[in-house]
Amino acid sequence: MRKFIVLLGPPGAGKGTQAKMLAEKLALAHISSGDIFRENLKTQTDLGKLAQIYIDRGDLVPDDVTIAMIEARLQKPDCSNGAVLDGFPRTPAQADALKEMLKKLEGEVVSVPFINVPAEVLVERLSGRWSCRAQGHVFHSVNNPPKTEGICDLDGSELYQRDDDKPETVKRRIHVYGEQTAPLLDYYTKAGLLVEIDGTREIDQVAFDLLKAIKRN
Ligand code: AMP
């Protein structure tokens, strides 16, 4: 059985940072739906052009488009052991679709850690966030600064601030999270898979708690 871990949490909870580390530790693929959209945006594919309209507004890309994109991604050979899913599913319809996809792939969701961070901390976190162009490594001007300003410690590429980290868009993203993604907490609690992690702690402590929670499941 391939193992899939779904990381939940509001925008700015640290899902991307944690998902990368976790995937490496567990030898699983790291699949970030946001990164795939941004990659398509950069190369101006049809998918990228369509997604941009929604991403710029802080809204979700429609379910059918997102589901088809993830389904294609899960066919790739690096998912042979499973994957850490970062940013997908984000709606109950996506969670249902994931269940169907995994049936075909002989995989299952084994754990759903929810990285909890209160709303008032999120805006401050996102406005100080810097992402690397090459691989999406994430830094924060105060909480996790790079050794050299503007340069990724891990691969030397340029750091940039995401357009959708602007304060108005951040507020919209947090609102959309509450309306459309928060119902997944209930969905995965009912499935017996949700484990809550305190996302306000240091990055390494959150990573430790995450690993512990997953091993328990
Ligand atoms: P993220 O990098 O996860 O914060 O995602 C950035 C943006 O990509 C989101 O604000 C959405 O517009 C879009 N996006 C990412 N994942 C999904 C998803 N699962 N469903 C719909 N839209 C998504």
Please choose from 8, 17, 57, 90 the residue to mutate so as to test ligand 1's pocket, defined by most ligand atoms within 8 A of CB: 90
- The whole-number pLDDT of residue 167 equals 83
Distance from Cα 198 to the centre of ligand 1, integer Å: 22
Computed over its alpha carbons, how large is the radius of gyration of the chain?
16
Task: Tell me the CATH number of domain 2-117+181-216, given options 3.90.1150.10, 3.40.50.300, 3.20.20.140, 3.90.245.10.
Answer: 3.40.50.300
CA of 66 to the centre of ligand 1 (A): 9
Q: What is the pLDDT of residue 45?
A: 96
For the chain, list the strands marked E by DSSP: 2-7, 29-32, 82-86, 107-116, 129-132, 138-140, 159-160, 194-198
Instruction: State residue 136's pLDDT score.
Output: 87
CB atoms within 10 A of CB 96: 14
Q: What is residue 120's predicted lDDT score, i.e. its pLDDT? A: 85
Ligand 1, atom 6, residue with closest C-alpha: 34
CA–CA distance, 6 with 10 (Å, rounded to integer): 13
Q: Whose CA is nearest to atom 14 of ligand 1?
A: 34
What is the CA(48)–ligand 1 centre distance, in A? 12
What is the pLDDT confidence band of residue 37, given thresholds at 50, 70 and 90?
very high
pLDDT of 216 strictly over 80:
no
Task: Write out pLDDT tens, residues 51-100.
Answer: 999 999 999 999 999 999 999 999 999 999 999 999 999 999 999 999 99
Give the mean model confidence (pLDDT) for residues 92-116.
Answer: 97
Task: Count CB-CB contacts under 10 A for residue 23.
Answer: 22
Pick the closest to residue 145 from 153, 133, 135 (CA basis). 153
What is the DSSP annotation of 77-101? Answer: GGGSSEEEEES---SHHHHHHHHHH
> What pTM, to 2 d.p., does this model score?
0.93
Over residues 152-191, the pLDDT tens digits come to 999 999 999 988 988 889 999 999 999 999 999 999 999 9
Q: What letters, b where the CB count within 10 A reaches 16 and e where it falls short, cover 52-91? A: bebbeebebbebeebbebbeebbeeeebeebbbbbbbbbb
Q: How far is the CA of 33 from the centre of ligand 1 (A)?
A: 6
Q: Where are the domains of the chain?
A: 2-117+181-216
> In the numeric block, which tokens belong to residue 9?
């949490």
20, 30, 33: residue to mutate for ligand 1 pocket, most atoms within 8 A of CB: 33
Give the three-class secondary structure for 49.
helix
Is 62 strand, coil or helix? Answer: coil
pLDDT digits (tens, 9 = 90+) for 139-162: 999 889 999 999 999 999 999 998
Query: Considering the chain, what is the average pLDDT of its residues?
Result: 95
- Answer yes or no: are the C-beta atoms of 92 and 187 closer than 8 Å: yes
Which one has a higher pLDDT value, 92 or 124?
92
DSSP bridge partners of 129: 140
pLDDT of residue 217: 63
Protein residue whose Cα sits closest to atom 1 of ligand 1: 34
Ligand 1: nearest atom to the Cα of 11: 4
Give the sign of the dihedral formed by CA 3, CA 210, CA 8, CA 197.
positive
Please give the C-alpha separations between residue 44 and each of 39, 48, 63, 200, in angstroms, as whole numbers.
8, 5, 20, 36
